[in-house]
Amino acid sequence: MEGGDPVTQAGPAVVDDDPGGLLPVSGPGCPDVALRNVSKTFGEDTRAVIDFSADFVHGEFVSMLGPSGCGKTTTLRMIGGLEDATEGRIYIAGEDVTDLPPSRRDTAMMFQSFALFPHRTVFQNVEFSLKMKGMNPEERTRRVWQMLEMVSLADLASRRPSDLSGGQQQRVALARALIGEPTVLLLDEPLGALDYNLRQQMMVELKKIQRETGITFVMVTHSQQEAMSMADKVIVMSDAVVQQIGTSREIYEHPRTKFVAEFIGNNNIMPGTIRSHSGSLVFVESFGQVFYVRAPDGGEPAPVGRDAWFSVRADLMSTGERPDLANRIEGVYVTTEFLGSLETDVFEVAPGHYVHVEQHRSASDRAYDPGERETISWAANAGVLLAR
């Protein structure tokens, strides 16, 4: 179950009908991890994961992102063998491991709690798995010192976990997980126990170590920042299904579903009705006006007359009269949110519906009075039509 929370009842699987581009599960060039139509059901009808298919190629940093209860930790545990898959197959380095126990899968797992041995030194904690495998002492010692150098802990080798900071304990846990050189390292909310500043630092260090080792990392997180900052591939999940798979940029700039647009970035979500099509643009009626909206890549055109949602990123909207921009709407000023050099002006464009306009402070040197009306504009291709 997801972080100890009850697994949610599954919502409609409305997303990636064709994950596309899946690789052969074995043979030359096969992915380090391949999941094919993997599902997990608890009890009789609590569906925790539905029809999950994806490839994680060698050396990739993959992040499974979503709210608590969406199925991401259950998926991670199925890869590691800590949960059995109800349906589907799981392959690691070309081998079908679906029915194998954790000890026979070439994986290592790092938990949020670190789970270090309190009575052992840093060196002994990192050494433990090699010792259990019966590796000779000379090679074992060489490997441990090499790993401690990589995670910048060589000077602390004789200390015990209670003498270390949270960040140092995390590096010990990471070194212990990596020392056996697994095909894939599974990370369950690895930064969740750290404070904000330390988490920022460890995001950089974790990505650096992953690149140096070349090991495939699969990380579960509910933090948009962690996923988008570190991962080469982001898998967004909700209600037990995969909503979208892509790079950070693809997910941010081209959300496919309403959930992804709401969960990732600072997007304005607007309801409407499709009125017509023209090439790559869709004309959507919303709030009594017709807006130009970009059609999603691929797939069949959305039928005319269908209710729809579209999103526009807050940083692609502008305030004031902009004759060069195709879309515009009037709103009533509500408030301004400040974040460093950025400010987000909030306007009510319809009863209970708010639009956020994000700009650099230097680009917007005027102050609004509450209730003041303003024109908000954006380009024809700035909005994207969303799957429901």
Hey, what amino acid is at 46?
Answer: T
Question: What is the C-alpha separation between 108 and 249, in angstroms, rounded?
Answer: 29
| DSSP-derived secondary structure for 151-186 | TT-GGGTT--GGGS-HHHHHHHHHHHHHTT--SEEE
What's the confidence (pLDDT) of residue 4? 42
Residue 22, pLDDT above cutoff 90: yes
- pLDDT exceeds 70 at position 331: yes
What are the residues whose beta carbons fall under 8 Å from the beta carbon of 171, sequence distance 6 or more?
151, 152, 153, 205
Residue 44: which pLDDT band, with cuts at 50, 70 and 90?
confident
Q: Which residues of 355-382 are buried (b: 16+ CB within 10 A; e: fewer)?
A: bbbbbeeeebeeebeeeeebebbbbeeb
* CB proximity list for 173: less than 8 A, separation 6 or greater: 110, 111, 114, 115, 116, 190
Out of 53-57, 146-150, 193-197, 261-265, pick the least confident: 193-197
Residue with tokens 């209860």: 69
Nearest-10 crossing angle of helices 122-132, 137-150: 130
pLDDT tens track for 295-329? 987 767 789 999 999 999 999 999 988 999 999 99
Tell me the per-residue pLDDT of 91-141, one tens digit each, with 9 for 90 and over.
999 999 999 999 999 999 988 777 899 999 999 999 998 988 889 999 999
What is the per-residue pLDDT for 378?
97
Beta-bridge partner residues of 198: none
What is the rounded distance in angstroms from the CA atom of residue 316 to the CA atom of residue 190?
33
Q: Which residue has 């894939």 as its token pair?
A: 184
CATH fold for the domain made of 33-253: Rossmann fold (3.40.50)
Question: Quick check: 327 and 383 in contact, CB under 8 A?
Answer: yes
Segment 326-345 mean pLDDT: 92
Arithmetic mean of pLDDT, 258-286: 94
The residues with which 283 forms a beta bridge, in sequence order, are 276, 292
The mean of the pLDDT values for the chain is 90
- pLDDT category of residue 12 using cuts at 50, 70 and 90: very low
Residues linked to residue 273 through DSSP beta bridges, in sequence order: 285, 307
User: Can you give the residue ranges of every domain in the chain?
Assistant: 33-253, 266-386
Tens-digit pLDDT profile for residues 143-176: 999 999 999 999 999 999 999 988 899 899 999 9
The per-residue DSSP string of 278-313 comes to ETTEEEEEETTEEEEEEPPSSSPPPPTT-EEEEEEE
Neighbours of 249 (CB within 10 A): 10
pLDDT of residue 278 exceeding 80: yes
Where is 48: in which H helix or E strand?
A: strand 46-56
**Which residues are within 8 A (CB) of 271 and not within 5 positions of it... i.e. 6 or more apart?**
286, 307, 308, 309
Classify 266-386 by CATH class: mainly beta
- Does 266-386 match 33-253 at the fold level? no
Say whether pLDDT at 13 is over 60.
no
Beta strands 233-238 and 107-110, pairing class = unpaired
Quickly count: other Cβ atoms within 10 Å of residue 351's Cβ. Answer: 5
